[in-house]
Chain A
Amino acid sequence: MEGRPLEEAELVERAKRGDVGAYEELVRKYQDVAVRTAYVVAGSADAQDAAQEAFVKAYMSLARFRSGASFRPWLLRIVANEAINRRRAARRQANLALQATEGRPPEDAAPSPEVATLALEQQRELLDAVNLLRPEDRLVIAYRFFFDLSEAEMAEALGCARGTVKSRLSRALARLRGAAEASPLAASRPGSREEARRD
């Protein structure tokens, strides 16, 4: 029936049969997460182009898409590969940035200036550490915490066994902590480098 949103599986099957309109719906559905994924890896300079390229490559690879599988992680794997390749080719640092409204703690109705300043400082420190990570670690963290992918989706998107997702996430978080220790911002904050906690 026209006018009724089609299920994703139906859209994929139609697209596999050459229905470009069906594929367009998939593109529109996932273009945000595709650009965001590319941004996490390659930064703002290449994010849109990488996502665009990935969508075209995905369309040409649809024959290899396993029917019944989830489209999003399959697509994100292509996006991430494209973004990683572009970042390597560009040989430039791909630092992420905060929005112009940075530092505003979400859901806080009216934080005091002191609280807002502290939240902003913590967020900058965290961002500084994320920016020191290699793309593969950024991806694991982004999939889990930024985009809220399930474990199964992460496994598909990362191209690893489901049982390895937790260990990869754990290693990425450990490297994030290590990066935070090396961060100039963290170093400049007295007492923030480490503290002893007695259990």
Chain B
Amino acid sequence: MTERVSSLGPDDVLAEGLRRLGGSLAYPTATPVAFAVMRRLEDARAGRSGAIARTLSFPMRLKRTFPVRSWRTVAAGLAAVLVLLAGLLFVSPSARDAIAGWLGLRGVRITVGSEGPPSPRDLSTLQLGELVTLAEARAAVPYRVLTPAGREPDEVYLSHRFAEGQVTLVYRPRVGLPEVRTTGVGMLLTELRGEVDREQLGKYLRTGGTTIRYLTVNGGQGYWIAGAPHLVYYLDPDGRAVADTVRVSGNVLLWEQGGLTLRLESGLTLSQALLVAESVR
């Protein structure tokens, strides 16, 4: 008996070939999709007239650069929420009790609590280190300083609090990038070498006005800390607490990337912060 077999081979060979082909295709990245979808849903929820209907007919193009325009959409509302939560924190003992708790990270410790200093509005009180240029910061640390796509930082600070240095990129408030009331800046991106101690993470987490969500950011573990203001204590690479580095933060996206821990503090929504994070190179 003679059976004709095409160039694609028997069924099992063809099946294996198709599986390999499926893993070798040049699929477009899905990174911008979630942000674009959530922005449209947020627009619709905020009551911007016909937002969904319009975009269904004329879908917006996905943006891969720094989302300056998109920040404008939530700035006012988010600022109001932060002010309200900050007020609760300092007025209500029950609110203070409710937001006690902490997470432990090997590179970074996040503390949710009420024992904070007055909110600094001057960058010099944030103890970010010495003011340098981006080039100087890059020359001073043994790791590659990453930046979000599309925008150079307004200021760069280098701290030697850690043996391998800590770099903070500062972005001043502008249209579309709301001022975080407690820091007076639009966005801070802090980078240091360290990684998350997952065993400690969430062990002592309690929730009050602060929420913590677990995410995947650029393929690594990430954490979104939002809601009520919280305190942030940095630890050195050996896990020892570094004193007097406390400050009050806006919403924070914390994630690991290439051996670094990055901390993005801003008044952006999660979707917007993720887009910034995903553009970091």
Chain A residues with CB under 8 Å of chain B are: 1-3, 5, 20-21, 23-24, 27-28, 31-32, 34-36, 39-40, 44, 47-49, 51-53, 55-57, 59-60, 96-102, 105-106, 122-123, 125-127, 129-130, 141-142, 144-147, 173, 176-177, 180-181, 186, 189, 192-199
- Minimum CB–CB distance for A136 against chain B, Å: 16
Could you say which of B5, B22, B24 has the most chain A C-beta atoms within 10 Å of its C-beta?
B24
- Minimum CB–CB distance for B144 against chain A, Å: 23
Q: In this complex, what residue of B is CB-closest to A129?
A: B8
Q: In this complex, what residue of B is CB-closest to A97?
A: B26
Main secondary structure of the interface of A (DSSP, over half): helix
Give the complex CA separation of A2 and B224 in angstroms.
11
For B128-159 the 0/1 string (1 means CB < 8 A from A) is 00000000000000000000000000000000
User: B1 interface residue, CB < 8 Å from A?
Assistant: yes
Q: In this complex, what residue of A is CB-closest to B32?
A: A48
Q: List 28 A-B contacts (CB under 8 A).
A: A2-B213, A28-B215, A28-B216, A34-B30, A34-B33, A36-B30, A44-B26, A47-B28, A48-B33, A51-B30, A52-B59, A53-B56, A56-B52, A97-B26, A98-B25, A101-B24, A105-B20, A123-B17, A125-B7, A125-B8, A126-B17, A126-B21, A141-B18, A145-B19, A146-B18, A192-B7, A194-B5, A199-B2
User: B4 interface residue, CB < 8 Å from A?
Assistant: yes
Q: In the bound complex, do residue B37 and residue A145 qualify as a contact, i.e. CB atoms below 8 Å apart?
A: no
Given A24-B38, A105-B20: A197 and B5 interface contact (C-beta under 8 Å): yes
User: B241 interface residue, CB < 8 Å from A?
Assistant: no
For B26-49 the 0/1 string (1 means CB < 8 A from A) is 111110111011101110010000
User: B6 interface residue, CB < 8 Å from A?
Assistant: yes
Give the complex CA separation of A177 and B8 in angstroms.
7
Chain B residues with CB under 8 Å of chain A are: 1-8, 11, 14-15, 17-30, 32-34, 36-38, 40-42, 45, 52, 55-56, 59, 61-62, 202, 205, 207, 211-216, 270-271
Q: In this complex, what residue of A is CB-closest to B62?
A: A48
Given A36-B27, A49-B59, A49-B62: A197 and B214 interface contact (C-beta under 8 Å): no
Q: In the bound complex, do residue B21 and residue A123 qualify as a contact, i.e. CB atoms below 8 Å apart?
A: yes
Given A3-B214, A44-B28, A96-B25: A56 and B61 interface contact (C-beta under 8 Å): no
Q: In the bound complex, do residue A194 and residue B34 qualify as a contact, i.e. CB atoms below 8 Å apart?
A: no
Given A3-B214, A56-B56: A193 and B7 interface contact (C-beta under 8 Å): yes
Q: In the bound complex, do residue B26 and residue A52 qualify as a contact, i.e. CB atoms below 8 Å apart?
A: no
Q: Which residues of chain B are within 8 angstroms of A144 by Cβ–Cβ distance?
A: 18
Given A52-B37, A55-B37, A56-B55: A181 and B6 interface contact (C-beta under 8 Å): yes
Give the complex CA separation of A52 and B30 in angstroms.
9
**Choice from A49, A59, A123, A195 contacting B41 with Cβ under 8 Å:** A59
Could you say which of A23, A48, A105 has the most chain B C-beta atoms within 10 Å of its C-beta?
A48
- Minimum CB–CB distance for B104 against chain A, Å: 13
Q: Which residues of chain A are within 8 angstroms of B216 by Cβ–Cβ distance?
A: 28
Q: In the bound complex, do residue B33 and residue A3 qualify as a contact, i.e. CB atoms below 8 Å apart?
A: no
Give the complex CA separation of A126 and B14 in angstroms.
9
Give the complex CA separation of A97 and B21 in angstroms.
10
3 closest residue pairs by CB, A with B: A146-B22, A145-B18, A35-B30
Give the complex CA separation of A173 and B88 in angstroms.
64
Give the complex CA separation of A5 and B30 in angstroms.
21
Q: In the bound complex, do residue A27 and residue B37 qualify as a contact, i.e. CB atoms below 8 Å apart?
A: yes
Give the complex CA separation of A59 and B52 in angstroms.
11
Q: Which residues of chain B are within 8 angstroms of A44 by Cβ–Cβ distance?
A: 26, 28
Q: Which residues of chain B are within 8 angstroms of A47 by Cβ–Cβ distance?
A: 27-28
Q: Which residues of chain A are within 8 angstroms of B52 by Cβ–Cβ distance?
A: 56, 60
Give the complex CA separation of A32 and B30 in angstroms.
5
Given A2-B211, A98-B25: A189 and B7 interface contact (C-beta under 8 Å): yes
- Minimum CB–CB distance for B233 against chain A, Å: 19
Give the complex CA separation of A47 and B28 in angstroms.
7
Q: In the bound complex, do residue A52 and residue B33 qualify as a contact, i.e. CB atoms below 8 Å apart?
A: yes
Q: In the bound complex, do residue B21 and residue A3 qualify as a contact, i.e. CB atoms below 8 Å apart?
A: no
- Minimum CB–CB distance for A143 against chain B, Å: 10
Instruction: Give me 12 other A-B pairs in contact (C-beta within 8 A), A24-B37, A31-B33 excluded.
Output: A2-B205, A36-B25, A40-B25, A48-B33, A52-B59, A52-B62, A106-B24, A123-B20, A145-B21, A176-B14, A180-B8, A196-B4
